[in-house]
A and B are shown apart, each in its own frame.
Chain A
Amino acid sequence: MLAKRIIPCLDVKDGRTVKGVNFVDLRDAGDPVELAWQYSQQGADELVFLDITATHEKRKTTIELVKAVARQVNIPFTIGGGINELKDAEVLLHAGADKISINSAAVRNPKLIDELARSFGRQFVVVAVDTRAVDGKNFVYLRGGRDKTEIQTEDWVKEAEQRGAGEILLTSMDHDGTKNGFDNMFLKKINESIHIPLIASGGAGQQQHFVDVFQQTNVDAALAASVFHYGEILIPELKETLRTNGIVVR
Chain B
Amino acid sequence: MIGIVNYGAGNIFSLTAALQRVGIPYGMIDKLDDFEHYDRVIIPGVGHAGAAMQKLEETGFVQRIVSLKKPVLGICVGMQLLTSFSEEGNAELLNIVPLKTLHFDKHMGKKIPHMGWNSISPKRDCPLFEHIADNSYFYFVHSYFIEADEEYTSASCTYDVVFSAAIQKENFYGVQFHPEKSGKVGEQILLNFSRL
A5 lies within 8 A of B117 (CB): yes
Q: Quick check: which of B28-36, B148-156, B175-183 contacts chain A, the rest being far away? A: B175-183
B183 lies within 8 A of A70 (CB): no
Contact of B113 among A70, A120, A166 (CB under 8 A): A166
Q: When each residue 5-34 of chain B gets 1 if its CB lies under 8 Å from chain A and 0 otherwise, what string results?
A: 000000101100110110000000000000
B112 contacts partner chain A, Cβ-Cβ < 8 Å? yes
Q: When each residue 136-177 of chain B gets 1 if its CB lies under 8 Å from chain A and 0 otherwise, what string results?
A: 010101110000000000000011000000000000000000
B123 contacts partner chain A, Cβ-Cβ < 8 Å? no
A243 contacts partner chain B, Cβ-Cβ < 8 Å? no
Q: When each residue 97-123 of chain B gets 1 if its CB lies under 8 Å from chain A and 0 otherwise, what string results?
A: 000000000000001111111110000
A111 contacts partner chain B, Cβ-Cβ < 8 Å? no
Q: Quick check: which of A93-101, A131-139, A203-211 contacts chain B, the rest being far away? A: A93-101
Contact of B158 among A1, A76, A220 (CB under 8 A): A1
A123 contacts partner chain B, Cβ-Cβ < 8 Å? yes
Considering the chains assembled together, what is the distance between the CA atoms of A46 and B139 in angstroms? 10
A217 contacts partner chain B, Cβ-Cβ < 8 Å? no
A123 lies within 8 A of B141 (CB): yes
Q: When each residue 111-141 of chain A gets 1 if its CB lies under 8 Å from chain B and 0 otherwise, what string results?
A: 0000000001111000000000000000000
Tell me what chain A mostly uses at the interface: helix, strand, loop, or mixed. Answer: loop
B21 lies within 8 A of A74 (CB): yes
Contacts of A94 in B (CB 8 A): 11, 13
B113 lies within 8 A of A96 (CB): no
Chain B interface (Cβ within 8 Å of chain A)?
11, 13-14, 17-18, 20-21, 46-48, 111-119, 137, 139, 141-143, 158-159, 178, 180-184, 186-187
Chain A interface (Cβ within 8 Å of chain B)?
1-3, 5, 40, 45-46, 67, 70-72, 74-76, 93-96, 98, 120-123, 166-167, 195-197, 220-221, 250
Q: What are 16 A-B pairs at a CB distance below 8 A?
A: A1-B119, A1-B158, A2-B116, A2-B159, A45-B117, A46-B116, A70-B13, A74-B181, A75-B139, A76-B139, A76-B178, A96-B14, A121-B46, A122-B143, A123-B113, A123-B142
10 nearest A-B pairs in the assembled complex, by CB-CB distance: A96-B13, A250-B137, A3-B117, A250-B117, A71-B17, A123-B141, A121-B47, A2-B118, A76-B181, A96-B14
